[in-house]
């Protein structure tokens, strides 16, 4: 790593899937691919950012992230997959259409996390503390890597926990980090500290709206 160039992470959420469109939680066990809109979003992201000299592309093990960065992979950029940044496992809530009851349960779980009750979970799912533990392993890995410019593609809730880990914040802060499909966060690492320099940017989607 060139010590005079700060390490920079381009962190994006995957493109839209039919589950996203219908408001159905996919979580960590439903391995859905991108829908037509998601494919267009992925192409738009490539069109705007393909001139950046990414040294590696890092994704979760779920194919919606692979498809989102496919154009970068086709360009020959080295690719690695990490289960640590798979989406949160929502247990029995995954694959079920949203109802008032499920939405109320979801808001209750989020409120518990915001108040510091990190072991609360959906039935059969993963707790916030378990999610934070695994994404923190990934964040530590990023700190140790030698490259200066990395592209990372992950998932909404995993990214919220990941950003809290990057910024060394309490996990109770993660609910404030929200991400559109292919929303881009840019984080810079300097003086042993990460900071956000761009937040949920969708500039690449302007011609799709």
Q: What is the pTM of this model?
A: 0.95
Position 90 pLDDT exceeds 60: yes
How far is the C-alpha of 27 from the C-alpha of 29, rounded, in Å? 6
Instruction: Give me the pLDDT at residue 101, please.
Output: 87
Higher pLDDT, 100 or 16: 16
Residues in the chain: 209
Position 64 pLDDT exceeds 80: yes
Handedness of CA 18, 10, 183, 76 (dihedral sign): negative
Ordered DSSP codes for 47-78: HHHTTS--SEEEE-SSHHHHHHTHHHHHTT--
- pLDDT mean over 85-100: 91
Position 3 pLDDT exceeds 60: no
How far is the C-alpha of 146 from the C-alpha of 108, rounded, in Å? 41
Instruction: Give me the pLDDT at residue 4, please.
Output: 63
Position 39 pLDDT exceeds 90: yes
Q: What is the largest CA-CA distance in the chain?
A: 53
Beta bridge partners of 190: 193
Domains of the chain: 7-205 (3.40.50.1240)
Instruction: Give me the pLDDT at residue 92, please.
Output: 87
**Residue 149: count of CB within 10 angstroms of its CB:** 15
Higher pLDDT, 115 or 137: 137
Q: What is the mean pLDDT of the chain?
A: 95
How far is the C-alpha of 200 from the C-alpha of 203, rounded, in Å? 9
């Amino acid at each position: 790593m060139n010590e005079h160039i700060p390490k920079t992470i381009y962190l994006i959420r995957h493109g839209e899937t039919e589950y996203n469109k219908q408001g159905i939680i996919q979580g960590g066990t439903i391995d859905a691919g991108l829908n037509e809109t998601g494919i267009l979003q992925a192409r738009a992201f490539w069109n705007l950012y393909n001139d950046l000299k990414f040294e590696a592309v890092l994704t979760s093990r779920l194919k919606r992230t692979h498809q989102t960065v496919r154009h970068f992979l086709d360009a020959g950029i080295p690719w690695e997959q990490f289960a640590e940044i798979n989406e949160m496992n929502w247990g029995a809530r995954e694959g079920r259409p949203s109802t008032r009851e499920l939405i109320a349960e979801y808001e209750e779980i989020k409120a518990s996390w915001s108040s510091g009750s990190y072991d609360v979970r959906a039935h059969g799912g993963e707790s916030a503390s378990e999610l934070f533990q695994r994404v923190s392993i990934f964040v530590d890995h990023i700190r140790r890597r030698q490259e200066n410019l990395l592209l990372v593609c992950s998932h909404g809730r995993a990214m919220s926990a990941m950003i809290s880990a990057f910024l060394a914040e309490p996990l109770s802060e993660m609910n404030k980090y929200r991400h559109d499909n292919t929303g881009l966060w840019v984080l810079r690492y300097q003086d042993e500290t990460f900071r956000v320099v761009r937040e949920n940017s969708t500039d690449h989607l302007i011609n799709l709206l």
